Amino acid sequence: MHMEVLRVGPELAAEWLTRNTNNRPLSKSAVQQLAARIRRGEWQLTHQGIAFDEDGVLIDGQHRLAAIVKADTTVPLTVTRGVPRTSFTVMDTGRKRTGRDALALAGEANATHLAAALRGLHLYLHAPNSAWSGGVSVTSHDQLLTVLEQHPGIREALPRGIALNRACRITVTAATIGWYVTTGARPDIDQAPWKEGIVTGARLEPGDPRLTLRNTMLALASGRSHRRRDDSREHLLYYLKAWNAWVEGRSIKLLRRSPNETMPRISGQTTTAPATGTPSRA
């Protein structure tokens, strides 16, 4: 086998794709995601590139080449020639690294929950009113690390999200984002009574937004509702609606999401994005 690093542009990539005569079906979504990463400047040279067998047939890297064509950008690429065609059966059989893996390798604690919260925060900031699923929900490892760099306070919001999840089964992602964006937008609000009310439900009157949120989440978790119990976008919408009512001193006895309802704006918010500092320690 012979391996070299070449700068591969869209024309060369398109020519090499004509040698793709015996490969798995091309995933359009994978190509779109990889092309978007190339356009954002996230491409990095690694040992993983493309490979040709002894007869010059492309046996690995079709998605990378298709993404280069789609992005219309030249990138450095590892090219291996003369790979035994029998090795095709063992290619791409390892476990793909996840956002959790990227954060754990960066030394972050609670990497699984943190990765989900960062992905959710990215969607809250950039696509709050879209379904947090499908292609729109895909975030690269570089994007997760960028969101963390821009919003380091999410680290301290995460334990609050975990505590609220244990108390009423709201998703950790929704509770973490809710805590982070409300404390960032309204640092003048003492969050301790909000958290205590949801966690314990003690001495709360019917209509108290904290009790209503708690009961709504517990009903979802129990399966007594037809709504999804793990939909973080819907849970965050309920969190913000209840939080707004609590801050404004309003009673609210029912939390529902109407069709096409947009994500609530934080009551009294004076900025368009959450602060990047440290959230409340309540």
Per residue in 142-177, pLDDT (tens digit) is: 899 999 999 999 999 999 999 999 999 999 999 999
Number of C-beta neighbours around residue 203 at 10 A: 8
Is 133 in a helix, a strand, or coil? coil
Strands 75-83 and 2-8: antiparallel
Sheet of 2-8, strand order: 2-8, 75-83, 50-53, 58-60
Q: What pLDDT was estimated at residue 146?
A: 92
Q: Is pLDDT above 50 for 53?
A: yes
Question: Considering only 39-43, 71-75, 101-105, 234-238, which range has the smallest mean pLDDT?
Answer: 101-105
Q: What pLDDT was estimated at residue 101?
A: 85
Binned at pLDDT 50, 70 and 90, residue 276 comes out as: very low
For residue 249, the one-letter residue type is: G
Contact 189, 246 (CB under 8 A): no
Binned at pLDDT 50, 70 and 90, residue 98 comes out as: confident
**In angstroms, rounded to a whole number, what is the distance separating the alpha carbons of residues 182 and 44?**
36
Nearest CA to 208 out of 267, 266, 252, 256 is that of: 252
Q: What average pLDDT does the chain have?
A: 88
Question: Considering only 132-136, 249-253, 262-266, which range has the smallest mean pLDDT?
Answer: 132-136
Q: What is the pLDDT of residues 58-72, one digit of tens each?
A: 988 999 999 999 999
Q: Is pLDDT above 80 for 280?
A: no
Q: What is the pLDDT of residues 144-153, one digit of tens each?
A: 999 999 999 9
**In angstroms, rounded to a whole number, what is the distance separating the alpha carbons of residues 148 and 171?**
19
